[in-house]
Amino acid sequence: MTRHPYYQLRPALFIPVLFFWSLNVFSQAAYSGFIGEQPVEMVMDLHFDGYARAIYAYNKYNEPIAIVGRYAHDTLTFAEKNTNGTERATLQFEHFDPSAEKLNGYWQATGTSNRIPVRLSKSFELEPGDSIEWNDREIIQPVSLPGQYFRLVVSKTKGVFYPYVTGVKVLEKKTGRLIQQFDLECQLRGLENLETGDYNFDGIREFSVFESSYAGPNTSRIYFLYDTASKQYFNSGFEGTSLEFDAGRKRIYEHNQCCGGRSHMNAEYKLVNNKMVLVKRSCLEYDEKTEDFREVTCD
């Protein structure tokens, strides 16, 4: 149940998570343009089953807005919701063609009849393919922090069928100024590679980047912490599969399962000087005779 190294970027390591991505996503593209007179950027993820996701931001604010919707009967419709889950606006493209270089639609606030025109031009696609190669295409991420937002840097290498993540940028919302950039080698997880959270329980929200998917439900992320003295982020070096962070107990929990759910490892860690220190670990295996799990010695 050890975590396999990902950094060689071998094609086989892309199969578990991105095979699912390739079966379900038929278009992933970035756009720039206008909602009314306001400049915007958007990245869009369309699935074969009609499900659609997008992230857009007004260039003036650089505040990402995540929207979900449906693509049916040549019409793409997104619902924009408030933080409490109520719909506040609709964004719609009639006669939508994912291969088109330009899109025209409208944005309409809920409860109003005024439709604000939306005009977008395609900036690029994140197309896969063995013979395709491109570098450093950036997509805005759906999460942000006070005063800061993120762009994922994505590249595509010949001989590796799927795009992958080569970096992340931290930028200032107010000005768009680059604050920091980190080089990475991670799997591309649709539009949502970034999450935010307080990973060292110091009361400051930081960010993490999805790294890889392994056998079963096991995943890994790269966690970045914030140094208040330098006002810079740094790679925490945290390692483990499917980590969960308990702010109340100030503990990190790891869970790793394999063999169709017949084998489980659970570990608990505390933090000492921003380093994960093992508190306890237990391993369980399914016993065919008792038809129940039994505790075993961890490897």
Least confident of 82-86, 218-222, 229-233: 82-86
Cα(68)–Cα(192) distance, rounded to whole angstroms? 13
- 253-293, pLDDT tens digit by residue? 999 988 877 889 999 999 999 999 999 999 998 888 888 88
The band of 24, judged by pLDDT with boundaries at 50, 70 and 90, is: low
- Contacts of residues 89-92 at CB distance under 8 Å and 24 or more positions apart, as own/partner, are 91/54, 91/67, 91/118
Q: How many CB atoms are closer than 10 A to CB 128?
A: 18
**Assign residue 292 a region: left if phi > 0, alpha if psi is -120 to 50, beta otherwise?**
beta
**What is residue 25's predicted lDDT score, i.e. its pLDDT?**
62
Distance set, CA 175 to CA 152, 219, 225, 232 (Å): 18, 34, 23, 18
Which helix (DSSP H) or strand (DSSP E) does residue 210 occupy? strand 206-213
Cα(283)–Cα(264) distance, rounded to whole angstroms? 6
Least confident of 1-15, 83-97, 120-134: 1-15
Q: What is the mean pLDDT of residues 178-184?
A: 98
